[in-house]
Amino acid sequence: MLMATKAHELDELNAVDLEAKLREAKEELFNLRFQAATGQLESHGRLRTVKKDIARIYTVVRERELGIRPTPGQDSNEDGDA
């Protein structure tokens, strides 16, 4: 079971690690939904937490695409006129 992820923790991950974390979260969400449908789910709050983690990961990925959030390993000054 994954713990709730903070955005600043996601900043440290590269694209491959983010993709892996997203895959794990989606898999956990599937399992939680399955448990909920069969009446075996004990922690309904966990469903909400995993959904928020997934949204957080998508937000970080999108912000990196738009250049709002720096990708790990990149300098904040990319144009080179330092």
What are the pLDDT digits (tens) for 6-27? 878 888 889 999 999 999 999 9
Question: CA 8 to CA 69: how far, in whole Å?
Answer: 10
Contact predicate 25/2, CB 8 Å: yes
Q: What is the pLDDT of residue 11?
A: 86
Per residue in 19-78, pLDDT (tens digit) is 999 999 999 999 999 999 999 999 899 999 999 999 999 999 999 999 898 888 765 555
Given a cut of 50, is residue 80 above it in pLDDT?
no
Query: What are the chain's domains?
Result: 7-66 (1.10.287.310)
User: Which ranges of the chain would DSSP assign to H, the alpha helix?
Assistant: 7-11, 15-37, 44-66
- d(CA 33, CA 26) in angstroms, rounded, equals 10
Cα–Cα distance between 27 and 80 in angstroms, integer? Answer: 41
Residue with the larger pLDDT of the pair 4 and 81: 4
Residue 81, pLDDT > 60, answer no
